[in-house]
Amino acid sequence: MAAVSRLKIGISACFMHADPARALFTGKTLQYVEQSIAHWIMSTGALAVMVPSPTGATQRGDVTLDHYAAWLDALVLHGGADVSPLSYGEQPLQQKWSGDRVRDDYEIALVAAFERHGKPVFGVCRGLQLMNVACGGTLYQDIETQVPKSLRHRDAAIYDQNFHSVEIVPGSRLASLYPQAHRVTVNSIHHQAIKDLAPGFAVEAVSNEDGLVEAIRRSDRAMSYLAAVQWHPEFHLPGAQTLDGAALLNDFLDAALAARSASR
């Protein structure tokens, strides 16, 4: 397939902020993507493109997020640092849950830029939480603290081998993508979760054990595609017990193709 015809999918950047005590890249800010998410996108033949933040202490030139949104076909918000409670009008319950406000501001602006250009956005883990906050929702800062008798959604000792089941909401778009799968197994690597769902969104899956939201989608089909899952479909391996994310990815890329066609 010629490069010009391949879908170009943006990936939001993770941040490693400047740290003068760090031995490598001392005092420098790093922006990067996790390899699995890029490889997941590229598995379809699409091109994965990290979208760096154009702002910061060393900002130069006139490039904006709108330039990327106009050029790219769609955006993926991937995992990483906590969303800051300040981003949804709360104070951190503990300092360790302060999150990354700088990354929040960058990604909220990024979602807005892709919306302005009518381009699809798909969120993974933190990406679901950020999408919910960007559109007016709130989060639990720490599930075990704020949700009594909740399932353990993050276990650092086993990381991506922590699994639980989720119920797919009947009649949802997610249910149509997995018509034979009503209860499925997913990985679970998060300690924050949706508290108040953003206006205009529908829940597409919930944790079977405690009812926490596991998948969302903008309910107004007339508006641009916004959807997200709390688990990491990019971590699924062939033959594993977890839900295969291929149908999710293909649905998102179909929306990207449709948006590309509409803009011509």
Q: Which residues are catalytic?
A: 125, 232, 234
Chain mean position to CA 225: 13
Cα(149)–Cα(131) distance, rounded to whole angstroms? 26
Characterize the bridge pairing of strands 121-124 and 163-168: unpaired
Characterize the bridge pairing of strands 139-140 and 163-168: unpaired
For the beta carbon of residue 25, count every other beta carbon within 10 angstroms.
11
Side-chain-facing half-sphere of 223: CA atoms under 13 Å: 13
CB 48 within 8 A of CB 9: yes
